[in-house]
Structure 1
Amino acid sequence: MPMQIRHSPRPCARGPHAPSATGPGAPGWTAKMLRPAGALERRDGPRPMLVPSAARSQLKILHPSTSPSHGATTATRAVAGSNVQTTSAATSARVQGKLLLQSSDSPSSPLRLSLQLVSATVAGRDERGVRGEAAALDAVISSGETEVDVELLWDEALGAPGAVLVTNNSDFPVYLKLLSLSSPAVHFVCNGWVYPVGKHPYRLFFTNDAYVKEKTPPALRKDREDELRLLRGEGAPADAPLQKWDRVYDYALYNDLGNPDLREDLARPVLGGSEEYPYPRRTRTSRPPSKADPASETRASLEEGVYIPCDERTGAVAKAPNLPKLEGHFGSLADVHGLFDTNAKPIAFPVPQVISANRTAWRTDEEFARQTLAGTNPLSIELVTGLPLTSKLDRALYGDQDSKITKEHIEKNLGNMTVAQAIEKDRLYVVDHHDWVMPYLKRINELPGDEEKGEISERKSYATRTLFFLQDDSTLKPLAIELSSPHPEDERLGATSTVYTPPDQLKAGEAASDTFTAWDLAKAHAASNDACKNNYVLHWLRTHATMEPVVIAANRQLSVLHPIHKLLKPHFRNTLDTNSTARHIVIGSGDERQGGAFYRNMHEVNFFTGKYGMEMSSKAYASFNFTELAFPNELIKRGVARGDPKKAEELELLIKDYPYAVDGLEIWTAIKEWVTDYCAIYYAEGDGAVAGDSELQAWWSEVRNVGHGDLSDAPWWPAMDSVGDLVETCATIIWLGSAYHSAVSFGQYAYNGFVPNRPTVTSGEMPAGAGAAVTEAEFLGHITPKNEAFGLMALTMSPPVKPGEPLMGERPDTARWTSEQRAAKALLEFNAKLDAVAEAVKKRNAARRGPTLRCHTSAEFPTASPFEHHAASVGAMDAV
């Protein structure tokens, strides 16, 4: 049965998140789809409907607690147990409320919590807010989401409550979502785990107010500072083992990708901290060093989870899949289509949308070109400003790597134009992966195949450049594909290149049903280069790896009370959880299962780059520029748009039918306006308020100098001394974690799920001429083998969004996320703008056509825009 793509009126908003399956123009995008899910299944716990009847609660008044810290880890104990002033029960009134919570399992014993309100306006002798009387909550709860009635004590003389102190006297942890009091109407947006007192002496949750540190009510300042010290792990030894209940956010190098203690060939270089391998920082896990390589960290077992701060954990630990080992290549297209038979064994895969409407259209040049603008990677196409295309590789190391595509190769397919005229009229475009692939190509092609073990197949790949012509109807036509290899005698002698052009006998839009040519194989190699670059650089690096330090620094330096923390927090959702899972079972080398069986991590098997993929992403990071990822800047840099990047709505697009650009600019504009309106509320005093915001400055300094320390001296970093810098930075972070991530991630199964359309592994020498005949079996023998195809499909087939996940502009606690009515109103206006964008995208998609497209009244067929796919969640990216 075909996989149904759910449509939504808005794009998803979450942040980074295995390669996924819907990009601009991918099957099923929505204008509000801004967010990491596809390959790795999201690990949220069960989220049933609210079940008030599932909980029976009793409340009683307790004597003030001293916040016991027995059994707590050093990091937790460091700021616990302060002596604070409390009120007496004689002067307190009862306050009714409701507590929304969640447990991952059905507890065998009752939930026992102690809750104490904390004054925001009256401080005690210790300069902290006076605590109210502690009330005990005893409740019987089930797994999933539960709402219980609560009754707290509060002395009106203490003014408004600013926080609630929660102690868990149960023998199991519980996740608190929201505490709402009726009179006075106060909301505490918790979203945090509370472990038993032996692990968490207490948790402090603030109200939904927002203010910068300098404007914090004096009674809350010390508690605000204490929370940040705890999250930074201050007071705890740097080498103290971190446990699953800890909340410490800290940094480490990418030194856990290899497994040298298991096998020498599984060692991988440390990424980050060196000029050779620059990289963003990841979350520190505190595992001991490897015995074989002390610079590397030991791997966690496949059955264990990798440490992340407990509030970042959104469900059960993702397990390494146990897939069957298959040998060899597909013998026919019928064998590939057989995977989608409802009775197929061992897994019946859903029909990828690229073949759901037309089983052969994927072979046409028209569809190949369409996917360049509206497939899983719509970000690599660039304007050609001159021929020959030149390389930036060091000639001393690699010799002449310039393109060998000449006007003689392409002029016959330019109609009545010359090459010079086509360049002058902005009609030539290129997708150029040559320089990214070539430095590693010799090593990739020398990787030993070990197909019998199902670990990795033999590879034969090329570095590719693909040239396109922009036709009068604003569609692209492929003109030439250049396949290059290192010189067989010495890499320093330059590249050996062959240029392939479309066979003369095929008319536009045609694909012979029973024969293939070398041109088809050239397109397969171009698609393979494109898929790998998208996977490791455009997706993993830009939305997962580079955003992780932003998330870490935000939690270490921005209080949950900080307005920018509240703005960005939804877009951080799942980022650390997904990234830790990626390092654990996706982007590393390999591990041993219980029982001794070997597990090779997915990407090294499923992509032609093999064990070099992460190294290659490090080389790409060396030229990373955060400011160029603001959407208008990114379009202008690639030459596909002209104009003032500050006026996105006025940009001139050189390719009019470019769904990613057309639809994306409308979403970017809505994001930018929302961030502008929001920041104007809290920084009304102007640039000085930004420069004087100590938490904000500490956050951005840590992002630059620690999280991205290898690039800290780059001149492009925003100074963060103006409202303009703040707005542009926050808008870019939101864009990367939502719409951008959706474009490069959520369409993977829709296009990559049918491996002949978008192979990720190639093998075998190319035939000489573009028109050389190739049998169906020979074509399939050159592309992704069965084992890799099976793994890739299993990785990307999960729905990108779970039911109930909030979309961009939505929040799980939409009515209570803030007490600032102007901010709440701005969010509603943002929602309305996204709804309007979604409607516009729908109408444009209805008019768009392509070989694999139909009018999009049915969710089964590929959509023409990446922004009409229901890409859920407002949190971090969760597909890797």
Structure 2
Amino acid sequence: MEHWGLCSGLQECLSAVQSKITCHLHASSHHALKQCLIKGEIVIDHSPGQSGPEKSASVQVYSWTEIDPNTGKGKLSEKAKLKHVKSQKSDGTRTTTYEVKLYVEPDFGIPGAFVIENHHNHKFFLQSATLQAPADQVINFDCRSWVYPIKMTKTNRIFFSNTSYLPSDTPKALAALRQEELKILRGDGTGERKEWDRIYDYDYYNDLGNPDKGHEHTRPVLGGSKSFPYPRRGRTGRPPSKKDPLTESRPEMINLDIYVPPDERFSPKKLSEFIGNAIQASAHFLLPEAKTLLQQDSSFQSFDEIKEMFSKTRSQQVEGWLTEKLRKLLPDELFKGIIHASKGNHLMFPSPQVLTYNESAWKNDEEFGRQMLAGTNPTRIRVLESIPIESRNGERSLINESHIVNNLDGLTIQQAMNQWRIYIVDHHDYLIPFLSRINSNTKGVCAYASRTLVFLRSDATLKPLVIELSSPGYSDGEKISRVFLPASEGTEGALWQLAKTHVAANDSGYHQLISHWLHTHAVVEPFIIATRRQLSVMHPIHRLLDPHFKDTMHINALARSILINSGGILEKILFTGEISMELSSELYKEWRFDEQALPTDLLKRRMALDDPDNPIGAQILFQDYPYGLDALDIWSAIWTWVMDYCSIFYIDDNSVESDGELQAWWSEIRNVGHGDKRNEEWWFKMTTLNDLQQALTILIWTASALHASVNFGQYAYAGYPPNRPTLCRSFIPPEGTTTFGEFLKDPDKYYLEMLPGRFEMTLGIALVEVLSRHTSDEEYLGQRPSSQWTDNNEVLQKFETFKKTLQEIETKIRDRNINPELKNRWGPAKIAYRLLHPDTSNENRRGGITGRGIPNSISM
């Protein structure tokens, strides 16, 4: 069976097709005409409790080879209604296959697009379509979008085939349709968006606060100012709040239906599974037996009491109570989907991996250091460049040579520095300006800014050397600092454990707000909006990037609704509280798109060596940096795939520079999507093929592997809060004080009271449980939802090469993880580093907390 794609002998192919066409007699009530049959299959998902569209939907097809002289567009067929063929239920949704038969004139040509009208009462999710033209020509359509009733949209919906064209190569029959579709997607920038609007536009983060609820819910607008720069988000157009015209109003209740364009919305299966996971994780807040303890916000009395959270299975009676509560709270269709998605799950937290092998391993100094290289935030550590350490304002750190000179395994400080063996995890300068506000809140948070130095031993494990904790003094500009040295026993050992806990709280805040949210979720959204607005779905770069944008705008919208908003989850659990997003804006000032390239990042942190002979330009500094070593392999594979793909469509630099859609896309990203960075000189010029390959590799890397590395390992480590607390409720007591005396009486009690309260701890565990779960409809790097995602055979061959490369990387990672010389691959906690294991074999297909797999997109 022949597939249509770009072909040098196009006219010859068309002539051959015309000679093969078999026409059929189609009788009408007036006369008989010779007509040709186009058959097709339409695959549709719909939510539980809702019927499929059946004959309430109709299809028309456009020719891409023959033009209607009256419209200047491809010839358009008559309408044909859908005919039900078969249905099947799966994971809370119903998938139905429909048949469509269209009769066209013999000179109609080959279909290149179709329009569908939905006259049903409900929206449905159109998965794919396949049309079979005369002479057995098969045209595939990868749709994956919601189609809303025409009574809402007032217009039909167009889908283009899986053939890609640069703008200059667009068939004349499709050129006007291409431009019309882009115009619709851009909208006019006015009005409040309705659920069914397919319009992409930009806005500031002006919807985080809710001043109508009170002054305590006022938050600054992020984006559009020097004080608070930020990437743009998708515009919803809600009216301004009553008390502040610059702040967008928010619904009174938690809103899970915040607007995102239909193409960005979760599928029915994903939505029910996501909410089901969230409710399962949050059940601890709904259970009567937990209500009193959580309201008291009491501390845990022992480590065993914390561990009991992972060992008690709720009774069937309690689960039945929760089910009835959900039945009353949720719409019937959503309730059915959630119950199906959560079937068999018990209302308990699974045991985090950090407790599985050795319940005390998290206290180990080696494990503390290993998590800097292979934990949830492995991108903050860097080589220390000088001692003494100087702050941005020239102030010197209290850390000096005497603190570390005797702990360098026989090396002098100069020798260790020359060999790049002293590292720093720095959460100091950026936090100092915010600490007074953080520590003056009414929630009892006690936070320091921190610097932590570690030493790279000969076996590549990291040995902590010293921790410096700083807080503002009593007068402006004054700073109080303390230095803590490693100790394993007695009072000094207990103080050292407290210091490590404060460092972990700093790192948790930075990880959640910067490494995770800002550097992946937030910075990618403007690229998605620009792609939809400026690159036609027929554009080869749109087709390349599309799987890497799946569900990102929807998950970001949910985050703005319940996670990063005023009073949201992050404000409740992180030590940064209500200034969390302000801090994120401050650190966006340091963000550079070009430095998000993995080799550039590693070289900047001096975790890799410049290697001109290496195609990617960098060689890892030492082999037992699990994140860095695996990441370079993945980066190299993505880079090669992008280079191979682009070379199929772009023959030279001029073809890049002359691509009008591409240039408009890049200009909009720079000047609008990341408009607060528009004047920066580091942006790629987008005048060469290399510029394009670099930009696309960074974007795909960020959306896939970088996000996977900072997201899906969260529960393994942060699921046990003593290992990675999100805040501390006590400072480290100075000697000679009453508090210090209380600490000496019972160091463990002091430590437990310093940890987050029962409420924050439970909420934090619930959050990382949801974030760490893969959903069952996840698509992983090297995978596409259909083998017919493109009609270009050369692209498919290159994609198979990419997939094979990823499979080879999987073998490398498995071999590394069984190599006893690579101690950081497991560490004392015995958690294998698999966060950058691509999982091309579909081992993750059922979803869940697996600690491995690189989804194509930021979909969680």
Mapping of 1:486-565 within 5 angstroms?
486-490=472-476, 492-493=477-478, 495-503=479-487, 517-565=494-542
Secondary structure of 1:307 counterpart: coil
Distance across 1 between alignment mates of 2:200 and 2:734: 55
Q: Which residue of 2 aligns with 1:632?
A: 599
Q: TM-score, normalised by structure 2?
A: 0.84
Q: 1:797-835: per-residue Cα shift (whole Å, max 9, x none)?
A: 13531124221010111x210011010111111000000
Q: Which residue of 2 aligns with 1:432?
A: 426
With over 3 angstroms needed to count, the CA separation of the structure-2 counterparts of 1:209 and 1:284, relative to structure 1, is: same
Secondary structure of 2:62 counterpart: strand
Q: 1:16-35: per-residue Cα shift (whole Å, max 9, x none)?
A: xxxxxxxxxxxxxxxxxxxx
With over 3 angstroms needed to count, the CA separation of the structure-2 counterparts of 1:89 and 1:649, relative to structure 1, is: farther
Kindly provide the amino acid, as one letter, of the partner of residue 656 in structure 2: V
Q: Which residue of 1 aligns with 2:130?
A: 180
Kindly provide the amino acid, as one letter, of the partner of residue 390 in structure 1: E
Is 1:836 matched with 2:803?
Answer: no
Distance across 2 between alignment mates of 1:110 and 1:715: 52
Q: CA deviation at 1:146?
A: 2.1
With over 3 angstroms needed to count, the CA separation of the structure-2 counterparts of 1:344 and 1:358, relative to structure 1, is: farther
Q: Which residue of 1 aligns with 2:334?
A: none
Kindly provide the amino acid, as one letter, of the partner of residue 305 in structure 2: D
Is 1:211 matched with 2:178?
Answer: no
Kindly provide the amino acid, as one letter, of the partner of residue 658 in structure 1: Y
Q: Which residue of 2 aligns with 1:334?
A: 304
Kindly provide the amino acid, as one letter, of the partner of residue 555 in structure 1: R
Gaps in structure 2 of 5+ consecutive residues:
1-24, 286-290, 319-346, 838-849
Distance across 1 between alignment mates of 2:163 and 2:697: 22
Is 1:660 matched with 2:641?
Answer: no
Q: 1:572-591: per-residue Cα shift (whole Å, max 9, x none)?
A: 0111000000000000013x
Q: CA deviation at 1:548?
A: 0.5
Q: Which residue of 1 aligns with 2:831?
A: 862
Gaps in structure 1 of 5+ consecutive residues:
1-59, 64-87, 450-457, 507-511, 591-600
Q: Which residue of 2 aligns with 1:151?
A: 101
Distance across 2 between alignment mates of 1:613 and 1:469: 31
Secondary structure of 1:130 counterpart: strand
With over 3 angstroms needed to count, the CA separation of the structure-2 counterparts of 1:290 and 1:158, relative to structure 1, is: same
Q: Which residue of 2 aligns with 1:92?
A: 35
Mapping of 1:120-159 within 5 angstroms?
120-125=64-69, 126-139=71-84, 143-159=93-109
Q: Which residue of 1 aligns with 2:20?
A: none
Q: Which residue of 2 aligns with 1:758?
A: 724
Is 1:479 matched with 2:465?
Answer: yes
With over 3 angstroms needed to count, the CA separation of the structure-2 counterparts of 1:705 and 1:91, relative to structure 1, is: farther
Q: Which residue of 2 aligns with 1:375?
A: 375
Q: Which residue of 2 aligns with 1:716?
A: 682
Kindly provide the amino acid, as one letter, of the partner of residue 247 in structure 1: R
Moved more, 646-655 or 696-705: 646-655
Q: CA deviation at 1:521?
A: 0.6
Is 1:233 matched with 2:187?
Answer: yes
Distance across 2 between alignment mates of 1:131 and 1:659: 56
Contact 2:384–2:423 (Cα < 8 Å) also in 1:
yes
Mapping of 1:161-560 within 5 angstroms?
161-182=111-132, 183-200=136-153, 201-234=155-188, 238-300=189-251, 301-303=253-255, 305-314=257-266, 315=268, 316=271, 323=285, 324=291, 325-326=294-295, 327-343=297-313, 347-392=347-392, 395=393, 401-449=395-443, 458-490=444-476, 492-493=477-478, 495-503=479-487, 517-560=494-537
Q: CA deviation at 1:878?
A: 2.6
Contact 1:516–1:775 (Cα < 8 Å) also in 2:
no
Distance across 2 between alignment mates of 1:135 and 1:89: 18
Q: CA deviation at 1:344?
A: 5.9
Q: 1:432-466: per-residue Cα shift (whole Å, max 9, x none)?
A: 010121110110000112xxxxxxxx100100000
Distance across 1 between alignment mates of 2:82 and 2:26: 9
Kindly provide the amino acid, as one letter, of the partner of residue 447 in structure 2: S
Q: CA deviation at 1:166?
A: 0.9
Q: CA deviation at 1:241?
A: 1.9
With over 3 angstroms needed to count, the CA separation of the structure-2 counterparts of 1:710 and 1:521, relative to structure 1, is: same
Distance across 1 between alignment mates of 2:398 and 2:701: 37
Q: 1:707-752: per-residue Cα shift (whole Å, max 9, x none)?
A: 1111100110001111100001001001001110011111111100
Kindly provide the amino acid, as one letter, of the partner of residue 391 in structure 2: S
With over 3 angstroms needed to count, the CA separation of the structure-2 counterparts of 1:848 and 1:739, relative to structure 1, is: farther
Moved more, 201-210 or 186-195: 186-195
Secondary structure of 1:417 counterpart: coil
Distance across 2 between alignment mates of 1:646 and 1:132: 57
Distance across 2 between alignment mates of 1:739 and 1:474: 24
Contact 1:244–1:310 (Cα < 8 Å) also in 2:
yes
Distance across 2 between alignment mates of 1:425 and 1:331: 46
Moved more, 277-286 or 647-656: 647-656
Q: CA deviation at 1:777?
A: 1.5
Distance across 2 between alignment mates of 1:62 and 1:646: 71
Contact 1:806–1:872 (Cα < 8 Å) also in 2:
no
Contact 2:835–2:853 (Cα < 8 Å) also in 1:
no
Distance across 2 between alignment mates of 1:412 and 1:645: 37
Work out the percentage of aligned pairs sharing the same amino acid: 39
Distance across 2 between alignment mates of 1:605 and 1:185: 54
Q: CA deviation at 1:214?
A: 1.2
With over 3 angstroms needed to count, the CA separation of the structure-2 counterparts of 1:703 and 1:854, relative to structure 1, is: closer
Secondary structure of 2:33 counterpart: helix
Q: CA deviation at 1:276?
A: 0.3
Report how many residues are paired: 755
Kindly provide the amino acid, as one letter, of the partner of residue 58 in structure 2: S
Distance across 2 between alignment mates of 1:127 and 1:744: 50
Moved more, 637-646 or 204-213: 637-646
Distance across 2 between alignment mates of 1:387 and 1:854: 31
Q: Which residue of 2 aligns with 1:567?
A: 544
Mapping of 1:599-748 within 5 angstroms?
601-644=568-611, 647=614, 651-684=618-651, 686-748=652-714
With over 3 angstroms needed to count, the CA separation of the structure-2 counterparts of 1:263 and 1:743, relative to structure 1, is: same
Q: CA deviation at 1:90?
A: 2.9
Distance across 2 between alignment mates of 1:304 and 1:617: 24
With over 3 angstroms needed to count, the CA separation of the structure-2 counterparts of 1:91 and 1:481, relative to structure 1, is: farther
Distance across 1 between alignment mates of 2:419 and 2:492: 36
Q: CA deviation at 1:848?
A: 5.0
Distance across 1 between alignment mates of 2:702 and 2:645: 19
With over 3 angstroms needed to count, the CA separation of the structure-2 counterparts of 1:852 and 1:374, relative to structure 1, is: closer
Contact 2:35–2:104 (Cα < 8 Å) also in 1:
yes
RMSD of aligned C-alpha atoms?
A: 2.6
Moved more, 97-106 or 561-570: 97-106
Q: CA deviation at 1:516?
A: 5.8
Q: CA deviation at 1:107?
A: 2.6
Please state which structure has a larger fraction of its residues in helix.
Answer: 2
Q: TM-score, normalised by structure 1?
A: 0.82
Is 1:811 matched with 2:784?
Answer: yes
Q: CA deviation at 1:134?
A: 1.6
Contact 2:64–2:173 (Cα < 8 Å) also in 1:
yes
Q: Equivalent of 1:582, from 538, 544, 559? A: 559
Moved more, 647-656 or 791-800: 647-656
Secondary structure of 1:186 counterpart: strand
Distance across 1 between alignment mates of 2:370 and 2:42: 51
Q: CA deviation at 1:634?
A: 0.5
Distance across 1 between alignment mates of 2:561 and 2:777: 27
Secondary structure of 2:431 counterpart: helix
Kindly provide the amino acid, as one letter, of the partner of residue 222 in structure 1: A
Kindly provide the amino acid, as one letter, of the partner of residue 605 in structure 1: K
Distance across 2 between alignment mates of 1:545 and 1:110: 36
